[in-house]
Amino acid sequence: MNAFSRTFSPHGPFDRTERATVLAVYQALEAQPGAASWLKTIHENRRQLERLGEVLNGYPSLFMESSVGDSKRDLQSLVNRLTAATPANFEMFLPGRAQLSRVLVMGEVNFYRLLRAACCHILSEERRVDLVGDIDHHLCHALYTRLAETVLTSIVSDNNLSIRLRDTAGMALAQIWENSTYRVEDFFPVLEATWEARRKVPATLGTLMGTSEMFRLLEAGGDERFVDWLARPEHTEDEEAAFREFLFGTSTEQLGELQARMAAEGKHVIGVDELPPEILKDACSSGSDDPSLAMYGFFLSRHLQASARRHAQAPGPKRTAEEYVMLYFLEHEVDRQRLSIPPW
């Protein structure tokens, strides 16, 4: 690779540690026979992402006031449009900057998947292990941005919630769309830490109480506030059910079937090895070694089921555990003043 390939655009989606990982992959692959085509593809994809970042930077800031004829636009007018939207028409209210930001985030996820594939195809297991660990770390951090956006979108477009909550969620979305290197830990560290820990902790089932999973989640770096809030004495049945879905990686309906099976068979505990693979789709055992596919599927399946129950008023949790916790943080712990300040 030439010297230019090591010069990153200031408007690209990579922060300092991510750039270091990209350069380390370049260095590891350069001396390997058969790596030239991989390096060329990696470099082309990186430049495409950086060009997207440059285009994103050219869009008007969501935090600046602008005028079109008699219409004035600023952060509050954007938030007002978002809170007036519904899940059915939300996409139609998104500014161009938001649309491009979404593309950029998923492009970054796919770029790390490319780096991962290159390392697995070209490097020996011994040489790639640390690199793949760093790549997976950055890949999941980019994916968490997409997941947080999904949670916030669900909140801002739900007219059953208070306007203040939805307004705060709208400002949080603007932060994501404004900054090409946005990281969830900047505003919602409780979610990032818990997602990261959950990715490393497979479900063991047992009594289906979740005690073992909960303690291992904390040991793996999960945020105590996530567990404390969902385990508080005044939690609702729906919140408890959502937390169990999060811990076990399967739906409330399937957990009910498992409990009925255990009762019929006179069992007090059940192991993962006793279940057919289609029953338990855990975050760490989705049939793929790609952590982005596993984590995205783990979240989205629960999110879609919860949304369906909410709209149909069906039994079971109406939101994911992450959404219940996000609602609490938006109301009690997120600094609204900070959300209203542009991330420059």
Does residue 205 register a pLDDT over 70?
A: no
Report the alpha-carbon distance of residue 119 to residue 21 in Å, rounded: 12
Cα separations in angstroms, 25 against 42, 130, 295: 10, 10, 24
Nearest Cα to Cα of residue 227 among 322, 144, 297, 133: 322
- Condensed to tens digits (0 to 9), the pLDDT of residues 182-197 reads 888 877 888 888 888 8
| One-letter amino acid for residue 113 of the chain | R
Does residue 269 register a pLDDT over 60?
A: yes
Does the pTM surpass 0.85? The reply is yes
The DSSP symbol for 234 reads T
Report the alpha-carbon distance of residue 141 to residue 14 in Å, rounded: 11
pLDDT of 3 reads 42
- Contact of 42 with 119, CB cutoff 8 Å: no
Q: Is 202 exposed, middle or buried (0-12, 13-18, 19+ CB in 10 A)?
A: middle
Q: What percent of the chain has pLDDT over 90?
A: 53
Range of lowest pLDDT (35-49, 133-147, 256-270): 256-270
Strand partners, 67: 72
Is the model more confident about 208 or about 170? 170
- Condensed to tens digits (0 to 9), the pLDDT of residues 147-194 reads 999 999 999 999 999 999 999 999 999 999 998 888 888 778 888 888
- Contact of 319 with 245, CB cutoff 8 Å: no
- How remote is the C-alpha of 39 from its chain's centroid? 28
